[in-house]
Amino acid sequence: MDVNHLISQYGYLALFFGCIAEGETFTLLGGVAAHEGLLHYGWVVVVAMLGGILGDTALFFLGRYYGDTILKRFKKHQTQIAKANRLIRKRPVLFVIGVRFMYGLRIVGPIIIGASRLKPHKFMLLNVIGAVLWALIFVSLGYVGGQVIAPWLHALDRHLKQIFWVVLILVLVWGVRIWFKRRSARENN
């Protein structure tokens, strides 16, 4: 199994689904893969952007229709949700574009925005702008970071089989040890 071949073949698809769900890790890795020539930088940005747009749009509409019910379940966080709602009303542009960059709000942020009754067309425009900025920044960071990471990845790739065998042997030894302990415990009972 060649990891480079798998990335080249399925990289864009993995990037797309990863950006729907989480994002930053996948965009950074996409940038590293682009640096390595396994994926094209421009397509990585476009795919990350599309995945981010789709994921946040789905969460926005989930919040629009079921947000109040969902957000009531976060009893401990009602103060923060109320603060977020005030910020959305006061500075919707800043909040919608910035929510992608706010740790801990990546998933719940668009739900809060949807529940706040912000107009869908306004959300969509700001969501696209935010996704473009987010994809460009994180893919570029991965691409530039690839210069630092690439030599390490090449060394890891060369030693991957040896690492696999060492880990497998350690797991087997650990498993046999546990088996002997359990067997001994059963015989003593």
Three-state DSSP at 116 gives coil
Distance of CA 187 to the CA centre of its chain: 49
* Overall pTM surpassing 0.85 (yes/no): no
pLDDT tens digits for 79-95?
888 888 898 989 999 99
Q: Find where tokens 């719940």 sit.
A: 108
Q: Number of H helices and number of E strands within the chain? A: 7, 0
Q: Which residue has the tokens 């942020």?
A: 109
Render pLDDT for 135-183 as a digit per residue (tens, 0 to 9).
999 999 999 988 776 676 666 666 666 777 788 888 888 888 888 888 8
| Cα distance between residue 104 and residue 158, in whole Å | 37
3-state secondary structure of 117: coil
